[in-house]
Amino acid sequence: MTKAPTLAVVVKGWPRLSETFIAQELLALQDKGLQFEIWSLRFPTDKKTHPLHQKITASVKYLPEYLHQEPKRVWRAWRTARKLPGFKAAYAMWRKDFARDKTRNRIRRFGQACVLATELPQSISGLYAHFMHTPSSVARYAAIMRGMDWGFSAHAKDIWTSPEWEKREKLNPTTHGAAFGVTCTAYGAQHLRGLADTPKRIDLVYHGLDLSRFPAPPDRPVKAPNAALQFLSVGRLVQKKGFDRLITALAILPKDMQWHWVHIGGGDLKDTLQEQAKKAGVADRITWRGACNQPEVITAMQSADIFILPSRIADDGDRDGLPNVLMEAASQKLPIISTDVSAIPEFIDTGSHGLLVQDDPTELAAAIIDMALHPEKRAGFADAAFMRLTTDFGMDAGITKLTARLQTLCAKR
């Protein structure tokens, strides 16, 4: 007989093509024997899914994406939640938060928390939220209502765009903060530990890759320095990915250089970037493939010559952590060019595992030319990055640490 789940995992949306790292982690936790449910704040919008999603057997439940869409469900939850022993404390905490963040989103978080707290099965004894901003707020309010502990996994945007007061309170037990937090970069862990009352409550858990789920890297022939090259980028078309910088860099490459750039990923800046490419005179050398699932991404990596991810800090402070796609590229021995932003240097040591440049199109163009002219250097970078991946960025150690945290969380009821 299957045991009832003791953990509820709160996510922004499920399933999502751009959040393979969450699916990878949950599948690993499932393989460790952890029983959990998935509670999503939003319905899926992607037309495709990864094979990983199909392997996760946990039940998936959706909270009201917008409160006005399910008024009866929200009203019923509100009336029931008011009888929970921790409701007054949760409501007081929410009012304090709302005074500093008077937004509809903050109202929606509390309504979703009421639904979550009242619809969770009695067997659930712990909440675990992916992302420190909205999902953690919903988990925190619901946990207070139900009198249970909660934890979170922080990534990138949620760390760098959340106000400091909110991060401090989510890290402090006197303000109903998390029992623990994990984050996927040393860069992020150092920041959160500086805000936490007890730094040791923050664990560094790299996403890593389960290489057993990836094909072996292809045998790449060494091309001549003047051969036609295919560049590949994978990432959402948003400011922090820096694809506007890459288009500028491509436009200043030597006119006699033979290249084609393939981009995989969706995003709001598609029309803007396509117009930029048209004005820069490189539109006919670009293929925009849109959102693809992981097998399609890996196939594209196997046929590409250079992987380029020009991450940068967005105007609102958002930035990448350590993008999983860099490790995926390394798994296929695809040479990497990226930037020295955030935690990327934790995986890529420039000049050893690939090339990292600053947020500057001229530097980026120079790195592309350097790699294009030196095929043996490309191969050396690819071999070194693959070795780094297999030696230092496996999943087992991190998943073992996270499993122990979650088991302790659920045992505290």
Mean pLDDT for the chain overall: 95
255-301 pLDDT per residue, tens = 999 999 999 999 999 999 999 999 999 999 999 999 999 999 999 99
One domain for residues 320 and 407: no
One domain for residues 226 and 190: no
What's the pTM value of the predicted model, to 2 decimals? Answer: 0.85
Structural domain includes residue 70: yes
Which CATH number belongs to the domain containing residue 21 in this structure? 3.40.50.2000
One domain for residues 378 and 399: no
One domain for residues 382 and 260: yes
| Residue span of the structural domain in which 377 resides | 211-392
Structural domain includes residue 2: no
Structural domain includes residue 1: no
Structural domain includes residue 149: yes
133-187 pLDDT per residue, tens = 999 999 999 999 999 999 999 998 999 999 999 999 999 988 999 999 999 999 9
pLDDT at 47: 82
The total number of structural domains in the chain stands at 2
pLDDT at 155: 93
One domain for residues 191 and 237: no
Is residue 64 within 8 A of residue 70, CB to CB? The reply is yes
